[in-house]
Amino acid sequence: MKAILSSLCHSPAPVAAFAIVGAFWGTFAAYVPEIKAGIGASDAAFGAALLFSGLGLCTSLFVAPIADRMLGPRAMQVGAGVLALAFLLPASVPNVWTFALAMFCAAAASGLLDVVMNSRVSELESRTKRSLMNSHHAIFSVGYAITALLSGPAREFGVPAVMAFAVVALCTVAALSWLKMETEIASDEADTGALRMGPVVFWGGLITLIAFMSEGATENWSALHIERTLGGRAAEGAFGPFMLGLTMAIGRFSGQAVVDKLSETRVIVGASVLSAIGVVIAALAPVPLIAYVGFAIFGLGVSVIAPMALALVGQKVRARDRTAAISRTAVIGFAGFVIGPPMLGLAAELVSLRLSFLLIAAILLSCIFWAGRLGSAGRD
């Protein structure tokens, strides 16, 4: 715990950025039932609209490096400011088509800040020779959990979604001065152009894609499952995303301690089984309380799958190719945010939310086999 606090205290700018991104998505997850009802969307239509958030996220992955070079030390400040404005859009649009465009903008802004803040943490890791990524990603989950929890009572008291996002936006504006951070000048010595899309990147990307797909789908539909399938109130629905955020934070804070005793491959296998069990419990839950237990178990498991896959990719490629390999793996992984929410929405429309979550569990279990392929893959 002392090491975690030390790593966070020495990087206030990225910590604030991770918390801000988590806060916006936590608020969104808790307000999904209200937003969905407000635009009059069916499950399939809402899922299709969420597809645009994935497209916006993937688009930002290519734009962000250019913006980062242009903005330099102020890149996180600009990214956070754009994010604060963009998230006012999904809560104030009248129909599913404008919602889809609003989600594209919000996710693109989120992706821009996401790339920059991860780049800053990577720079700090290189400079300090310390592992920092798990603890910073845990801060995202903390921000997510806190705003999801607070959004439940806010909805019960009739606070509209746009006002809730406005409060998070005002807090973001107040924190902008913290987000300025000097950057290192990148070296041109490494020839990353020779990196091939070999088995290490492919298998690592596939595992990361499944983790992000499961995470995104469950985050976006957990509140609706509790409220519609299990008859929960607004505050009870918001507690589902809260449990996800809380347990994912715990999982990521403890991830480093686990991998010190077990290999990354074993951690991925165990986490895949654990998260699948959690999804099954949530899917078959007769009451919200049991669903919370399921989502908590899922959060603990899924929280470490992607970080461990990225770490394993980094170990298996040449040192000069490491940044490019991890970046390409992440690009494949982020496609999961494109696939997950609309896939679950379509399945919910055709069958039910319960069976949709069972589908997620089956896909998670496939990581048992992909982890073995990644573990046995050689260098690119």
User: Could you read off the pLDDT of 123-133 as tens digits, one per residue?
Assistant: 776 677 776 77
In the chain, pLDDT over 90 holds for what percent of residues? Answer: 35
Q: Please report where in the chains the tokens 């239509």 appear, as a residue.
A: 45
pLDDT of residue 188: 45
Instruction: Give the tens place of pLDDT for each residue, 222-274.
Output: 888 899 889 988 888 888 888 888 898 888 887 666 766 777 788 899 999 99
Cβ density class 195-211: b for 16+ within 10 Å, e for less: beebbbbbbbbbbbbbb
Banded model confidence at residue 329, pLDDT cuts 50, 70, 90: confident
Average pLDDT over residues 14-25: 93
Q: Which residues contact 261 (CB under 8 A, 6 or more apart)?
A: none
In the chain, pLDDT over 70 holds for what percent of residues? Answer: 87
Q: Say yes or no to pLDDT of 192 above 70.
A: no
By mean pLDDT, which of 116-125, 147-156, 191-200 is the weakest?
Answer: 191-200
pLDDT of residue 103: 93
Q: Which residues contact 180 (CB under 8 A, 6 or more apart)?
A: 13, 73, 74, 76, 77
99: tokens are 């919602």
Average pLDDT over residues 58-70: 79
Instruction: Give the tens place of pLDDT for each residue, 365-378.
Output: 999 999 988 888 76
pTM of the model as a whole: 0.77
Q: Tell me the domains of the chain and their CATH numbers.
A: 9-181+196-376 (1.20.1250.20)
Q: Say yes or no to pLDDT of 289 above 60.
A: yes
| CA neighbor of 50 nearest in space, from 92, 42, 84, 234 | 42
Q: Considering only residues 65 and 265, tell me which one the structure prediction assigns the higher pLDDT.
A: 265
By the 10 Å C-beta count (0-12 exposed, 13-18 middle, 19+ buried), 378 is classed as exposed
pLDDT of residue 280: 96
Average pLDDT over residues 266-288: 94
pLDDT of residue 333: 82
Banded model confidence at residue 52, pLDDT cuts 50, 70, 90: confident
Average pLDDT over residues 19-26: 94
Q: Say yes or no to pLDDT of 5 above 70.
A: no
Banded model confidence at residue 47, pLDDT cuts 50, 70, 90: confident
- How many angstroms separate the CA atoms of 271 and 204, rounded? 15
Banded model confidence at residue 380, pLDDT cuts 50, 70, 90: very low
pLDDT of residue 257: 66
Mean pLDDT of the chain: 84
pLDDT of residue 159: 94
Banded model confidence at residue 97, pLDDT cuts 50, 70, 90: very high
